[in-house]
Structure 1
Amino acid sequence: MTTNSPSAHSSQPLLHQKGEVIQEFGTVKQFPIGLSYEARMYSCQRLNKVLADTQILYGLYKKHHWLMRGATFYQLHLVLDKHAGEQLELIDTIAERVQSLGGVALGDPRHVAEITSIPRPPDGVEEVPAMLSRLLEAHETILIDAHDATARTGELGDDGTNDLLVSQVIRTGERQAWFLAEHLVDTPLVRA
């Protein structure tokens, strides 16, 4: 006898399943990690903002990596890809911190677009200095937000979030901004 419904031991995947939302975005569940509800809620809100901006920065790095032009194409192509990879690692680290605080990490790109404060770039190809400047401005947006968030997370006793923001988000962002800014210095390669 054949049937169209899979049995309990069938290898047929149970497709098209639906479920209820079991935790709303913007909420935190209680975890026994020694932090108050207020501290965890604040940190999750701030981290999700940094997460949104970091996801946009990652996308900008990949876009500009693909669209590089000119005499420094190869060097910039490589450095932008390296920076994109580092931003991708930050995205995962930030999201895991939100989850470890009992929150819901921002993951849907459409939701990211609603929350980010980094302006959307043109759809086409900009000149190289404009692309680098756009990346620097995005870094500064994230760095200003991260510096502000570290002060408050420190006051609330959330050392883990504070450490993540300082040792990973801020230090990575400052180093990457330095590398980018040095490509915008108008210095001749050789003198006659």
Structure 2
Amino acid sequence: MVTRTRNVEAQPKLHQRSYEIQQFGQLHAVPLGLPENAIKENVELLNKLVLDSIMLYNMYKKHHWHMAGPTFYQLHLLLDKHAEQILETIDLLAERVQMLGGVAAGMPHDVVENTRIERPPKGEEAVPAMIARLVDAHATIIKALREAIETTEKNKDYGTNDLLVSDVLRMHEMQVWFLSQHLVDTPLIGEETNK
């Protein structure tokens, strides 16, 4: 028989709520040697990239589940690998927001309300359309990344700048290359043409 005592220190304190100790959009001071206005600007652009990246991650997973046709296996695995790489960059971007003293965005309603990426339909599309949609989403993020890289350079936030160039931009460029090659109109099995 289990007996319960009143004051068990190991008892979890469930259903806790708190006031916000830092509101979204506020910064807490971190001694990084950067002006507050530069940090605020960089946190905002990083949060936009987080939200767009979450949208892209979810598109990858949806399209990964809906792959079909002769290249099903290869594309199913490729899209899953790309999704995992996107997920890693989401974490890097959100952690950078926190390092700068900001509050990282990331709730589903934040994504829906603020993403710059076009929403895919709820239903299933043809494989080339899904791949093209992913390439378009990458293009949107790459454009925002290039602008963010210029801004962080101007703001002398070299840590954020290095993250964006080395870890995020290069990964997106690689993924666009891999995906766009699947949109080249070539036969799957060697059809030789005699000219």
Q: CA deviation at 1:6?
A: 4.6
Q: 1:6 to 1:48 in 2, by over 3 A?
A: farther
Partner of 1:67: 66
Q: CA deviation at 1:153?
A: 0.9
Identity %: 52
Partner of 2:140: 141
Supply the AA of the counterpart residue of 1:163: D
Once the two structures are superposed, the pairs formed by residues 11-90 of structure 1 within 5 Å of their partners are: 11-90=10-89
Q: CA deviation at 1:180?
A: 0.3
Q: CA deviation at 1:119?
A: 1.5
Aligned length: 189
Q: CA deviation at 1:157?
A: 0.3
Partner of 2:95: 96
Q: 1:21 to 1:129 in 2, by over 3 A?
A: same
Per-residue CA deviations over 1:86-143 (Å, capped at 9, x if unaligned) read 0000010000000000000012111121111111111111000110011001000000
Q: 1:156 to 1:14 in 2, by over 3 A?
A: same
In structure 2, what is the Cα distance between the partners aligned to 1:21 and 1:55?
Answer: 24
In structure 1, what is the Cα distance between the partners aligned to 2:175 and 2:27?
Answer: 32
Instruction: Give the gaps of 5 or more residues in structure 1.
Output: none
Supply the AA of the counterpart residue of 2:145: A
Partner of 1:191: 191
Instruction: Give the gaps of 5 or more residues in structure 2.
Output: none
Q: For 2:70, what is the secondary structure of its paired residue?
A: coil
Aligned partners of 2:135 and 2:176 also within 8 Å: yes
Aligned partners of 1:61 and 1:83 also within 8 Å: yes
In structure 2, what is the Cα distance between the partners aligned to 1:88 and 1:12?
Answer: 34
In structure 1, what is the Cα distance between the partners aligned to 2:6 and 2:94?
Answer: 36
Once the two structures are superposed, the pairs formed by residues 124-139 of structure 1 within 5 Å of their partners are: 124-139=123-138
**Root mean square deviation of aligned Cα:** 1.5
